[in-house]
Structure 1
Amino acid sequence: MQVLFTVSSWPTHYAAMVPLGWALQAAGHEVRVVCTPSQVAPVSAAGLIPVPVLNGLEVTVRLRLQYYREALNGQWPYPWLPPHPLTGGPLNSLDDFDLAGYRDREAPAYARLAAAGYDAAVAFASAWRPDLVLHDPASLEGMLIAGLLGIPAVLCLWGPVGTHEPAHMSIVPEDHSGAFPRHGLREFGLDMIRTVIDPCPPALAPPIAAQRLPMRYVPYNGCAPMPGWLLERSDRPRVCITWSTALTTTSGPRSYLLPELVRAADDLGVEVVLTATAEDVAALGRVPPTVRVAERLPLRLLLPGCDAVVHHGGSGTALTALWAGVPQVMATFASEQTATATRVAAAGAALHLPGHEANAGAVGTALEKLLADNSYRRTAGELRAQMLRQPTPADLVKTLEGHHREPGRDIQRSSV
């Protein structure tokens, strides 16, 4: 079987798909990953073969446009404005961004780039002839290819946010390039999504309107040497602090909370392990001597030995923490991250703070409560047990082998 992945330009969007790619390859199937040129290195490092033909609107710009629209519609919950959608700089007023001008000038250019990427993806798939397409929610190219070739498309979620969320926080973009009707299919709609792979434990199953294929979450957060100190434990609780690699570029400089988080944990006298990008660590200035810095250490190595983790609400971090059975404190700055944090907190495995309320005092209080109340760790362990009862990626390969043979699963063509 030949399986085509199509992925967005953000590695965390497809990280949950990587172990499934490994499983397919280990079972003898051929896997290719259609991506943007910016993803050649991450896809290759994951042991998969990239096909760098996609183009279009970068995820950072799409998210900043989403936050700007939230602010226009009164849905932006923070006491400051979101960053400028194109430059990422600060806005003094919503009028500082010319939305009408963007629609007239920049949007058509982005649409042309996206259209060229769609066409290149279709050309590759037409030559390679995959039997099955797997794609992340932000990559519609997979659905277009499946519709044209008459093969199944399976959407792969990256966390506890689903395909059918409120419009302002949709993780499934629109086809602004008009690629679907241009290639003879009807306009893209969410009803075209027929099958969804869900890596969440059942208690966190996100809203979808399609066949759900549960899959055990197997964390992939990159690779690095395992330091010996991971196996050494002191008599103090070990707390991991980790932060997004791209949050400040999408949500603005006020989302840089690392100094507050480090101060909060250090004041509690716990053992603190900080993992972040070199740039974010450098911006901290002097790091307290009690804080161990482990730049970009994969969370699947670090979290099993931790008593708690403090982070920004990213789906990959949240699910890796649940896989490790570790309770969480989440301080969020975006609607998708807020939804993730709200749902994990409602399940009883986390505490959630809106980003603008997450000062050192509030984070310290939440972390102290999390460490003192064993119910959070117990619930995290229960969610881990739910995860481990789900079919593994290797188990799911057999399902997908049968799935691609099912007739009548093609996307409806246009009647025009």
Structure 2
Amino acid sequence: MRVLFTTYPQKTHFLMMAPLAWALRTAGHEVRVASQAHFADVITQAGHTAVPVGRDHGFWRLIDLHPDWLGGSEHGLPDPYDSAVLDPDEITWEHVNAGLRRQIQRWHKVVNFPMISDLVTFARVWEPDLVIWEPTTYAGAIAARACGAAHARLMWSLDVFGVTRDHFLRLRRLRGETGDPLADWLGPYAATHGAGFSEDLAVGQFTIDQLPDCMRLEARTTYVPMRYVPYGGPAVVPGWLREPPARPRVALTLGLSLTDHEDGGYVAGVQDILDSLADLDIEIVATIAEHEQKRLERVPGNTRLVPFVPLHALVPTCSAVIHHAGPGTLSTTALHGVPQLALPHDFDEPALAARMAAQGAGLSMLAGQATGAQVRDGLLRLLEEPGFRARALDLRAEMLALPTPNELVPRLEELAGRHRR
């Protein structure tokens, strides 16, 4: 069959999609990955065939220029997706409704509109059997509707989008409201292709989820679990990483998104953290962007500074990992059974880190509030208390029990046959 993957040009989202695309290709299926033209090199570096669609749109440049564009609690503006992890009694219609309207206008429309027309045109010509889209690239659902393909979301983190959608529909029903900003936006596109708005345009006909059961956040839709497979892009294993560490190794990594898109620095105080760990008999491998390395006033003797190391090669050599709670970083660490100290900042990171900590596989503290001393205390607990390692290994076992992307292919073939027109 033919399978079309699509994402707006967000590197961390695409990297979570690449292993399933490989699995489908090695099973004999034709695979294409559609995104904006300037993102083609990222796609082809992963060994996939890129389909440039729409006009190039620098969404992250817009955010750099206007940091409050998306809103969020730190700007005093409603972020509807934080309701996904709240008790239903704490969620108000005003918060969810106003927040969703803002996010649709300033995020979802902005990243989808430049792609929709070209993506629909390509889908009609190529005629995929299955379209797989990351959960904010609603253009994929529209393209599937246009060509009659089955379609699914591929989650890269907690399903805050689906759960928030459920809360919106529940509160709208209770209040007797009639408005729906998502349907108002996507509905005219659906009507153009012969049908009105339906919930599959919001959450897919089914959803592929890469988190283990103990961490998954589920909406009222069909989930298909899949084992997470680490992929961080082109990488070379350095020579020093081939030798076992002489003392406990701790990784400090704060993610790709900031180094790719921003110049404002990390939220966590890197200098304070490194200074607080300087007297410990450990080896710290700090993957710090080069422009951030230049801001450091000193580098402790137990610290190795590098701009990048392939995380899936580094983590198995570590006794603990300190990180920003990005989904890929957290999942890679969990897959190798290593205790983790998460320093989340925004969006899905705090909720994801909290769920990891609730399993006993590590600790979590907000990046903007964590001092070097607190990080030190948390790290010492991870290194000295055996319970963290035991629970990290339990979490690893749960992840390994999920079907690999290759094992999932027959299920996707079945679902595509069931849903396509």
Query: TM-score scaled by structure 1?
Result: 0.82
SS at 1:391 equivalent = coil
Output aligned runs, 1:179-218, within 5 Å.
179-187=189-197, 189=199, 192-218=203-229
Identify the range of structure 1 (254-263 vs 127-136) with the bigger mean alpha-carbon deviation: 254-263
Q: What code does the residue aligned with 2:69 have?
A: L
Change (3 A) 1:309 1:31: same
Is this contact kept in 2: 1:131–1:151, CA < 8 A?
yes
Change (3 A) 1:346 1:54: farther
Is this contact kept in 2: 1:57–1:110, CA < 8 A?
no
Partner of 1:134: 132
Change (3 A) 1:228 1:3: same
How far off is 1:402 after superposition? 1.6
Partner of 1:331: 343
Partner of 1:7: 7
Partner of 1:350: 362
Is this contact kept in 2: 1:240–1:274, CA < 8 A?
yes
How far off is 1:54 after superposition? 4.0
How far off is 1:145 after superposition? 1.2
2:164 and 2:281 mapped to 1: Cα distance?
41
Partner of 2:16: 16
2:285 and 2:417 mapped to 1: Cα distance?
48
SS at 1:329 equivalent = strand
2:264 and 2:158 mapped to 1: Cα distance?
24
1:365 and 1:108 mapped to 2: Cα distance?
40
How far off is 1:141 after superposition? 1.3
Identify the range of structure 1 (259-268 vs 67-76) with the bigger mean alpha-carbon deviation: 67-76
How far off is 1:358 after superposition? 1.0
1:250 and 1:273 mapped to 2: Cα distance?
22
1:59 and 1:398 mapped to 2: Cα distance?
37
1:372 paired with 2:370, answer no
1:276 paired with 2:288, answer yes
Change (3 A) 1:119 1:242: same
1:109 and 1:201 mapped to 2: Cα distance?
28
Query: TM-score scaled by structure 2?
Result: 0.81
Partner of 1:97: none
SS at 2:348 equivalent = helix
Identify the range of structure 1 (237-246 vs 182-191) with the bigger mean alpha-carbon deviation: 182-191
- Size of the aligned set, in residue pairs, is 380
Q: What code does the residue aligned with 1:383 have?
A: L
Partner of 1:66: 70
SS at 2:214 equivalent = helix
1:397 and 1:316 mapped to 2: Cα distance?
22
SS at 1:67 equivalent = coil
Q: Which runs of 5+ in 2 are unaligned?
A: 81-101, 169-180
How far off is 1:373 after superposition? 1.0
Q: What code does the residue aligned with 2:342 have?
A: M
1:335 and 1:355 mapped to 2: Cα distance?
13
Is this contact kept in 1: 2:252–2:286, CA < 8 A?
yes
Is this contact kept in 2: 1:64–1:251, CA < 8 A?
no
1:118 and 1:70 mapped to 2: Cα distance?
31
Partner of 1:38: 38
Identify the range of structure 1 (280-289 vs 220-229) with the bigger mean alpha-carbon deviation: 280-289
Identify the range of structure 1 (218-227 vs 120-129) with the bigger mean alpha-carbon deviation: 218-227
How far off is 1:337 after superposition? 0.7
Output aligned runs, 1:234-253, within 5 Å.
234-247=245-258, 253=265
Identify the range of structure 1 (35-44 vs 124-133) with the bigger mean alpha-carbon deviation: 35-44
The structure 1 segments of at least 4 consecutive aligned residues displaced by more than 6 Å after TM superposition are: 107-110
1:369 and 1:156 mapped to 2: Cα distance?
35
Identify the range of structure 1 (306-315 vs 59-68) with the bigger mean alpha-carbon deviation: 59-68
Q: Share of identical aligned residues, percent? A: 33
Change (3 A) 1:161 1:340: farther
